[in-house]
Amino acid sequence: MRCARYAFLPFVFILLLPACAWANAGTPLMWAAMLHLFIGNALIGIAEGLAIGWWFRCTKWKCVLIMVIANYASAWLGGIVIAQYLLPHGSLDLTNAWRWFWIMVFATYVITLLIEWPFVAHCLRQVEDRLKKSIVATLVVQSVSYALLFGLYYPASQKSIFTNARVVPADAVELPESVLVYYVGPEENRVYVRALPGGEPDPVAAIAAFSYGEWLIVRPNESQDDTWDLVARYGPWREPELVKVLSAMHFAEVPVWKHEREEESYRSGRSYDYGPTPRLGAAAESAWDFSTWGWAGTGLSGRNTVTGKRTGIALETPFIAWRITHATLLPSDKVLFQLGRDQICVFDPVASTVTLLWRGSSPIPVIEGPSDAPH
């Protein structure tokens, strides 16, 4: 029993580690996950070990030690199994992510039982009828623990893309037909253009594949007035390398970004990874203001300046977390955006619907001008 008195000391040490680096960062889910993975597993293991030791009259400090190890094993190994082998990464998208979320809730429970049962059996190695009792003990103890963890993770997760909006097919949403969307295709080394709402993809240029934090931008052509260049933005944030993809394009409208510290909007020539959402064409007069943020859990948020209505969508769960980036408010008060790595979607704040249009990244919506042929 003397050993049990000092079992908590390593976790006190963890609690006392400097945490200033996290003070101004993260989301509730990130904090919940960090609490669980580094501290919560120890606390849960202590509780489970004491319960098993009391229930079967085993040596409590040994049960505590074994169950602490079991909880760390199930949390870390289980996470690897789920991330690498269970989620269908190639076919996972907006249309099936909510169903897969609940499949993962059940799968993690089963994996927890499978991983932790041998540890429970080891605690009961000197108990008569060990097999049956260890199975019963595992079911009871892990069901209680999993219910507590579900109560921690579910409120901390952001599911508003499904709970605040309905997922509808592309043919169920009305989009402005005058809008063309330039984007990087799912193969990541070719630029396409297609018309809203249901145009066919037209390959227009080959590019070097993007890495994280690189995207397309549109900016004024330096030699021909009233024309635009489509540019690939590579490299670091402050000193990017700009590679021209298409030159001297004739667009009637490109996204306009209004900086919160300036009175007048200007043609930014950039598609922002996150921040205040640019407006396209007649959307400059829209009552809706939208912003995207750097975390998956903060997603896309908006407010109607006339009615005061607030809305937003985000997706950050322990199993699936997709950032919302490269958003643009379209003339129809719908928001075109990139979800995760390669989903181009649209959100309707009035009807509270969200739609997957096609696979791709870095969407740049424009309104075609007198001549929209690439040069």
From 40, 299, 45, 53, select the one nearest 150 (Cα to Cα): 40
* Domain-embedded: residue 18: yes
Assess whether pLDDT exceeds 60 at residue 149. yes
User: Residue 89's pLDDT is what?
Assistant: 73
For residue 194, what are the domain limits?
166-368
* Domain-embedded: residue 374: no
Q: How confident is the model at residue 6 (pLDDT cuts 50, 70, 90)?
A: very low
Q: What is the pLDDT of residues 299-311, one digit of tens each?
A: 999 999 999 999 9
Q: What are phi and psi of 210, to 5 degrees?
A: -80, 150
User: Residue 257's pLDDT is what?
Assistant: 64
Same domain, 17 and 71: yes
| Domain count within the chain | 2
Instruction: Report d(CA 339, CA 94) in Å as an integer.
Output: 8
Same domain, 89 and 18: yes
Assess whether pLDDT exceeds 70 at residue 223. yes
Assess whether pLDDT exceeds 70 at residue 222. yes
Torsion sign across C-alpha atoms 17, 22, 23, 27: negative
Same domain, 100 and 184: no
Q: Which residue has the tokens 């040596």?
A: 59
Q: What is the pLDDT of residues 354-366, one digit of tens each?
A: 999 999 999 999 9
Same domain, 133 and 193: no
* Mean pLDDT rounded to a whole number for the chain: 83
Is residue 251 within 8 A of residue 200, CB to CB? The reply is: no
Same domain, 295 and 348: yes
* Domain-embedded: residue 373: no
Same domain, 63 and 193: no
Q: What is the pLDDT of residues 299-348, one digit of tens each?
A: 999 999 999 999 999 999 988 899 999 999 999 899 999 999 899 999 99
Same domain, 244 and 150: no
